[in-house]
Amino acid sequence: MSIVKIGVIGTGSISEYHLKPYSAHPGAEVYAVCDLNEERANAAAAAYGAKKVYTDYRELVADPDIDAVSICTWNNSHAEISIAALNAGKHVLVEKPLCRTVEEALQVQEAVSKSGKLLQVGFVRRYDPNAQMLRTFADNGEFGEIYYAKASYIRRMGNPGGWFSDKSRSGGGPLIDIGVHVIDLCWYMMGRPKVKSVSGNTYSKLGNRAHIQNLSRYQAADYNAELNDVEDMANALIRFENGASLMVDVSFSLHAKQNEGIVKLYGDKGGFEIDPEVCIVTEKNNTILNIQPQTDSAGFQFEKAFESEIAHFIDCVQHNKQPLSPVEDGVEIMKILNAVYESAATGKEVYL
């Protein structure tokens, strides 16, 4: 099997979780890196042995030796770079969110179908071993019809600053940054039902809480707390055409006692929890059972999930397979996220 030559575009905070598994994968080679910040690109190239360094992604995608790219840039460039890479004949793994708007998402989808190349959306939560284990239970009908899901991704003081809090580059705040993970995870576990309507609220009450001391936070590579025009928190009720519903709330800033991650789903034969810890709930012989699956970790395994996301991408490229998180799913999630913002802005339920 030929080695897949990879170009990683954007060498900031998350790129390490792409570069490391690519460099450890026997079927891949970190061939080139690119960042607007040349020093940062050079450091990544030195750390992972990349032969070429670019500061302009257009030059990287024009490099005929590159087979596929990972896009780890600010959200505002995801669509533009994906389309350019696809048009240049490269396969694409793009970080979540697919982009900022439904319009951009549809343009990416069109480029995928025209180019015949594959695009995998970095919905990394799907690739966690526990998520895959639970998906198998769901596929085998263990939970019956999953009709309700509840997801929470609460940071009390977790605005990463820099581009994350600049709406023109991020497309929004915690909803599009971290809400995307848990909304996608629930939707995927529910069997990707068609969305019917969305009702949401956003709040900007506390700002970025940059004044808080004695607690550390995830930060953009170019941290800057001055600009913040994204929401502090968002909540939504998402209704699906099959009658199922999903309730979600997410925050960068909230007077919450602690950070909290909750992902729980309920079916007519059983329920399950993914966050904070995996658990299966069912009944047998007139008794309720809370079952603790025996896996390496009861919680989300960040590095393992990235390793399996990257291994899946290489496998799809080498064997011409459809990815587990295709562009169509990126488009559907974009519709939900944009509808939450629209509903919050208009104060009305949005029908899709």
Summarize as ranges the residues that interact with ligand NAD (CB under 6 A).
Answer: 9-15, 34-37, 40, 57, 72-75, 77, 95-96, 122, 124, 162-163, 177, 220-222
Closest CB to ligand NAD among residues 18, 239: 18
Helix 129-139 and helix 302-319, axial crossing angle in degrees, nearest 10: 70
Closest CB to ligand NAD among residues 10, 271: 10
Least distance (Å) between residue 156 CB and ligand NAD: 18
Least distance (Å) between residue 338 CB and ligand NAD: 16
Cα–Cα distance, 9 to 258 (Å, whole number): 34
Q: Closest-CB residue for ligand NAD? A: 12
Cα–Cα distance, 136 to 238 (Å, whole number): 24
Closest CB to ligand NAD among residues 124, 151: 124
- Only one residue has tokens 């030929």, namely 2
Closest CB to ligand NAD among residues 72, 149: 72
Least distance (Å) between residue 179 CB and ligand NAD: 12
Closest CB to ligand NAD among residues 76, 201: 76
Least distance (Å) between residue 348 CB and ligand NAD: 28
Report which residue type is found at 138: A
Closest CB to ligand NAD among residues 9, 92: 9
Cα–Cα distance, 198 to 248 (Å, whole number): 11
Least distance (Å) between residue 196 CB and ligand NAD: 27
**How far from each other are the two terminal CA atoms of the chain, in whole angstroms?**
44
Least distance (Å) between residue 54 CB and ligand NAD: 8
Helices (H) and strands (E) in the chain, counts: 11, 15
Angle value at C-alpha 21, between 216 and 49, nearest 5 degrees: 100
Which is it for strands 260-267 and 271-275: parallel, antiparallel or unpaired?
Answer: antiparallel
- E-only strand ranges, the chain: 4-9, 28-34, 52-54, 68-71, 91-95, 119-122, 146-154, 195-203, 233-240, 245-251, 260-267, 271-275, 279-284, 287-291, 350-351
Least distance (Å) between residue 73 CB and ligand NAD: 4
Least distance (Å) between residue 349 CB and ligand NAD: 28
Closest CB to ligand NAD among residues 96, 239: 96
Closest CB to ligand NAD among residues 139, 303: 303
Cα–Cα distance, 302 to 322 (Å, whole number): 23
Least distance (Å) between residue 9 CB and ligand NAD: 5
Closest CB to ligand NAD among residues 169, 192: 169
Angle value at C-alpha 268, between 263 and 271, nearest 5 degrees: 30
Cα–Cα distance, 99 to 101 (Å, whole number): 6
Cβ atoms 155, 178 nearer than 8 A: yes
Q: Which two tokens stand for residue 108?
A: 């990416």
